[in-house]
Amino acid sequence: MTRVKMCGMRTPADIAAVNLVRPDYVGFVFVPGRRRAVSPERARVLRGLLAPGICAVGVFVDAPVDTVAALLADGTIDVAQLHGSEDAAYIERLRRAAGLAPADVAGARIIDARTVRTAADVRSACESTADAILLDNGMGTGETFDHALVELACRPFFLAGGLDPENVGAIVGRLAPFAVDVSSGIEAGGAKDLGRMRAFARAVTTAGDNDRA
């Protein structure tokens, strides 16, 4: 069954909605200047409102290792998702600083997000030392990329970029990603929308049920 990550949570209303929909993961963006960015202090408040069993993911771009490790250590987030130029050396420093052991994709604590333009991008992502990889068109673009390239992936992956309730079912049915990651696709008027969140989760679940039929 493909898992669901809903990203860009900013308000108590957003958290109330995800507590009803119950995705597997929610994301907090710690990238200054991004529209959906939150401060660590704000994220701690929102995390405190989050229902048990929903994994909190922090999204970072080239943040200091100590900053990311502190948010993992104090429980603000469960997982770090890295969208910058973080390399194997950065990932190893982060593991040491946060006291993390390598894990499989289901227990991932570090996700390496990669922009996909070519087959070489997918091959490079598959070689990442992170626990999991995320294949994307580029952070926050809201656009898809050539999904034929995803078929080259040799390890389980999170898939992001241009997903919405209208297209995610077919994409999950075709590519069977470990998880799908959505933000703008579950918004209406620039805010998270409960109806679209429910429709997105339902489309993923239905696609998974069809795969087992």
| Annotated catalytic residue within 24, 131, 136, 181 | 136
Decide if 136 is catalytic: yes
Catalytic residue among 7, 14, 131, 164: 7
Q: Which long-range contacts (CB under 8 A, 24 or more apart) does 177-181 make?
A: 177/2, 177/150, 178/2, 178/3, 178/105, 178/106, 178/132, 179/2, 179/3, 179/4, 179/5, 179/24, 179/25, 180/2, 180/3, 180/4, 180/5, 180/204, 181/5, 181/7, 181/25, 181/27, 181/134, 181/136
Q: Catalytic residue numbers?
A: 7, 136
